[in-house]
A and B are shown apart, each in its own frame.
Chain A
Amino acid sequence: MSTQTRASLQVDLAPHNPRELILRNPVIPASGCFGYGQEYSHVIDVQRLGAFCSKGITSQPRAGNPMPRITETPAGMLNAIGLQNPGIDAFIKKYPPIWEHWDVPAIVNFSADTVEEFAEMARKLDDVPGVAALEVNISCPNIHAGGFCFGWDARMSADVSRAVREATTLPVIIKLSPGAVDIAEIAAAVAEQGVDAISLINTLVGMSIDPVTRRSRIANTTGGLSGPAVKPVAVRQVYQVAQAVDIPIIGLGGIFGLNDALEFFMAGATAIEMGTVCFSHPVAPIQLIDDLQTWLDAQGCASIMDIVGVANPQFRAGKDS
């Protein structure tokens, strides 16, 4: 008699943090593409997800950018929403009290203009019931550095990571920017600050011009490129970062289905996020959970961890977890 045991999809994204970030499966809708979870709760079974990332919040309310904010590109899209959000105080009152009653862990994505503001926001979120972890968006301009992107500079990325780490005991994920010249250098600098995990990639800065109007198709002129078009860049950067750090990596960038996700796991990601696909196929994250289970069972794997980093000879990330 063969008793087929099913592969475990469980992943540990904060193995050294007593507050833990253990997900029942490694599938996480990405920030900006899933609202605050509620928007999709009547479309899919949100509670089946491994976790989800909230829309990015800032310390003050933001009205966002003028329209048009999005445009389609070949197998992708550009967006410049401008971080429209109610600000951290209104956010804390409105959403975590809902999430507190949910099974699925909520990861709060946030950004700031200065290192001090990052720390202050992390302090405010530290003991808010319903908040499971923080994802720190460092793909934003540092107003004390002439607007240079935090995430493109190893020292500034480390400064933010250290400040957030000191401000909270919550699991902290630093979300890297693909615009950095040497992504592995940034990742190593971030990991040294004791953060729990790294997620990558954020969108790539892009542009699209309408020949009729002779203007950018986006009011903000430039926007963030996402979707299947960016996937090879994302897989490459996950592969590089997985050789540079030993903390878990969350990979994202153009994942639409099983084969896309497998590329990220095999490059060295312990979990994956799904962004743009939520717009085209809201059921895709749930479908991926089922497809991963079926695939791992068919492969005879005991755990999703069996395939993490298998395509990466110098893989280190999350190995000791």
Chain B
Amino acid sequence: MAAVLGKASAPVREWTGEITANRTIMGDSYLVTFTMPEGLAQHIEPGHFVNVLPSGAGSFDPLLRRPYSIYGIDAAANTMTLLIRPYGRGGQWIVDQQPGQSLNVLGILGNHYEVAPRSSHLLMVAGGVGAAPLKMLSEQAVAQGKSVVYLLGARREDQLLDASELPHAVEYIVATEDGSAGHKGFVTELAANYLTWADQIFTCGPTPMMAALRNVILQHRFGKGPQVQISVERTMACGVGACLGCVVETKKGMKASCVDGPVFDMESVVWG
């Protein structure tokens, strides 16, 4: 039985943030930090995302905002950090912006991961830049005294998240496709070891990775097994449920990943 996750409910603003830091991470990705309006930080939960305009004022190209899960916030400094791997022109434009320059941001968008109060063992399964929302979730969980195992998969060692990015209390285990660090193979192969330990599983990454994780879970789990929450990535336009361009097929029909997601119960989704 799939758990019902909440819909988007955080306040949504369009704002211009000033970039305060921009550094490379995970080999070919960037951590971009920028200011946000007063009063937003308190509404941000792990799994929330923002839509960033990938072009300057007066430019129509690229046209559509790019969605990014929130990697972290600094409530004292009132800043937000996104983890961005530039796949195309839009992402490249964003990571090319330097401290002092500005970004046009729409947020806070989407629903968020939901940790049950009774859950004490949380398993994170991340692929690539899917690391972002699970990093924020791990920080929050550790602060609440929960045990966290964080699995991350990448193609090679230099594309992994540095351990210093995660709280010390997190058990961080990695897999690389070329075997240059940790387990040689896919991150989903590591997950099997934790299925009986975990009260809940949280995942974010490429769709094939999450589908493979589902297969591992279906093969290994017994009884009801842990509840699994996935965060999906879809091409998106509006971010607020208006255009229906980003839908996910669920057992209850087409749902907009921007307001009914991006976090879904794994078993509520129709898998091809």
Contacts and interface: CB of A to CB of B under 8 A. Distances in A.
Residue picked from A39, A227, A228, most chain B C-beta under 10 Å: A39
B131 to A, nearest CB: 24
Interface string A56-76: 000000011001111110111
B211 interface: no
**A-B pairs, 4 with minimum CB distance:** A35-B242, A70-B245, A279-B237, A228-B60
A33 B242 contact: yes
Interface in A272-297: 276, 278-283
Interface string B207-231: 0000000000000000000000000
B106 A282 contact: yes
A79 interface: yes
A75 B64 CA distance: 9
Contact of B247 (A32, A55, A64, A283): A64
A256 interface: yes
Given A55-B242, A64-B254, A281-B14, 5 more contacts: A43-B12, A69-B246, A75-B60, A227-B63, A280-B64
B66 to A, nearest CB: 10
Interface string B59-75: 01111110000000000
Given A74-B61, A227-B60, A228-B60, A43 B240 contact: yes
B124 to A, nearest CB: 26
Given A276-B63, A281-B14, A39 B240 contact: yes
A34 interface: yes
A40 interface: yes
Residue picked from A55, A81, A280, most chain B C-beta under 10 Å: A280
B61 A69 contact: no
User: Number of contact residues on B: which range applies?
Assistant: 20 to 34
Contacts of B106: 43, 282
Interface of A: 32-35, 39-40, 42-43, 55, 63-64, 67-72, 74-77, 79, 81, 84, 227-228, 256, 276, 278-283
Q: Is the interface of A mostly helix, strand, loop or mixed?
A: loop
Interface string B228-243: 0000001111111111
A312 B45 CA distance: 54
8 contacts: A40-B240, A70-B243, A71-B235, A72-B63, A76-B63, A77-B63, A79-B237, A276-B63
A67 B232 CA distance: 13
B11 to A, nearest CB: 7
B115 to A, nearest CB: 26
B253 interface: yes
A279 B14 contact: no
Interface of B: 11-14, 53, 60-65, 90, 106, 234-249, 253-254, 259
Contacts of A79: 237, 243, 245
A97 B246 CA distance: 27
Contact of A33 (B12, B60, B238): B238
Nearest to B65: A280
Contacts of B244: 55, 64, 69, 81, 84
B243 A282 contact: no
Contacts of B65: 279-280
B242 A34 contact: yes
A63 B253 contact: yes
Contacts of A228: 60-61, 63
Contacts of A74: 61
Nearest to A281: B14
Contact of A84 (B63, B239, B247): B247
Residue picked from A42, A227, A282, most chain B C-beta under 10 Å: A282
A8 B90 CA distance: 40
Contact of B14 (A39, A70, A256, A282): A282
Contacts of B11: 42
Nearest to A276: B63
B238 A39 contact: yes
A76 B53 CA distance: 14
Contacts of B242: 33-35, 39-40, 55, 278-279
A33 B243 contact: yes
B163 to A, nearest CB: 34
Nearest to B53: A280
